[in-house]
Amino acid sequence: FTAAATAMALSMTATAGFAACDDGEIVIKFSHVTNTDKHPKGIAASLLQERVNEEMNGKVCMEVFPNSTLYNDDQVLEAMLQGDVQMAAPSLSKFEQFTKVFRIFDLPFMFNNMEAVDAFQTSEAGQKMKESMTRRGLLGLGFWHNGMKQMSANKPLVTPADAAGLKFRVQNSDVLKAQMAAMGASPQPMAFSEVYGALQTGVVDGQENTWSNIYGQKFFEVQDGTTETNHGVLDYMLVTSTDWWDSLPDDIRTQLATIVDEVTQTRNAAVGEVDASARQAILDAGATIIELTPEQRTAWVEAMKPVWAEFESDVGADNIAAAQEFNA
């Protein structure tokens, strides 16, 4: 190959990848780690892309990179600060380097259900959290829902004692590590894209995630049942860089913010359906879901809830009290 041929091949690749963007358009690269069409985040990102590219055509062009094809969650926020990507929606567990206030969402049994999560996030205390990282260069544009987390392992989990001694993949969060330790299990932080292989080869025994992630990544195929614990929440922050956001012309920023808000509301309102169909698809695939009696569930609460005390000063006793009010 001559240098010219290589340059031409590269530019053709680039053209193919960015075919939708015209010269002069502001390009928004949105990187995420899930699938695009059966997942709350994937669907929301696709809808955002569709609306931005339709309604802001000629001015703004959004390119979505799903399935960890561009970055893992442990890389994407640094890439954003470097200006290599403009939007992402990592789970709230992934922001530990930037703020500790999101730890409230990782605390086990803090929220009874997604209605309580939604009410807290849309409250004044929740909305303030979108600006908790501006000093570090990141701005939250909106909370995006996924759902409640379930537990699975290579053996059936009925009581928390069943989890003792097992290795569980966790997102890289101190709260989640403490939660697993509270059950006598060992936490193993790992990127989302590596979990299926780690479960399959026995590098870890179990994992916790939402129905849409367990279905989307096929974790159920390599686990001996999933226990419906609903013990925690996995939600996202749609995030951008403050530098990039502030650099936008006012009219563009305003229009983009409106589309973001509308997509956020529409998709957050529909998240229960996506969650339920993922759960059903797991059953349809012939996998086992273990439902707990209220007494059995209480044992999980008693095992995990002591973790709260360790993190109360990070998240604020007032925030915990506010969150608990929405459970009523």
The interface with ligand LMR within residues 122-151 (CB under 6 A) comprises 146
**Shortest distance, position 11 Cβ to ligand LMR, whole Å:** 32
**Shortest distance, position 151 Cβ to ligand LMR, whole Å:** 13
Q: Collapsing DSSP states into helix, strand and coil, what is residue 27?
A: strand
Query: How many other C-beta atoms lie within 10 A of the C-beta of residue 252?
Result: 13
Give every CB contact of residue 288 below 8 A, 6+ residues apart in sequence.
156, 224, 225, 226
The interface with ligand LMR within residues 190-219 (CB under 6 A) comprises 192, 209, 213
Binder among 28, 30, 31, 33 for ligand LMR (CB under 6 A) = 33
Q: Could you say whether residue 227 binds ligand LMR (CB under 6 A)?
A: no
Q: Give yes or no for a contact between 322 and 183, defined as CB atoms under 8 angstroms apart.
A: no
- Total binding residues toward ligand LMR, as defined by CB under 6 A: 9
- Which residues is 64 bridged to in the sheet? 30
**Looking at beta carbons only, is 60 or 147 nearer to ligand LMR?**
147
**Looking at beta carbons only, is 56 or 232 nearer to ligand LMR?**
232
Phi and psi torsions of 150, nearest 5° = -120, 165
Q: Give yes or no for a contact between 228 and 105, defined as CB atoms under 8 angstroms apart.
A: no
Q: Which two tokens stand for residue 109?
A: 């049994």
**Looking at beta carbons only, is 192 or 326 nearer to ligand LMR?**
192
Show the site string, 36-55: x = touches ligand LMR by CB under 6 A, - = not.
-----x--------------
Q: Give yes or no for a contact between 233 and 102, defined as CB atoms under 8 angstroms apart.
A: no
Q: Could you say whether residue 91 binds ligand LMR (CB under 6 A)?
A: yes
The residue sitting closest to ligand LMR, measured at its beta carbon, is: 91
Query: Residues 41-62, buried b or exposed e (16+ Cβ, 10 A)?
Result: bbbbbbbbbebbbeebeebbbb
Q: Could you say whether residue 241 binds ligand LMR (CB under 6 A)?
A: no
Nearest partner of 118 among 50, 51, 40, judged by Cα: 40
Q: Which stretch binds ligand LMR (CB under 6 A): 33-41, 54-62, 130-138, 243-251?
A: 33-41
Binding site for ligand LMR (CB under 6 A): 33-34, 41, 91, 146, 171, 192, 209, 213
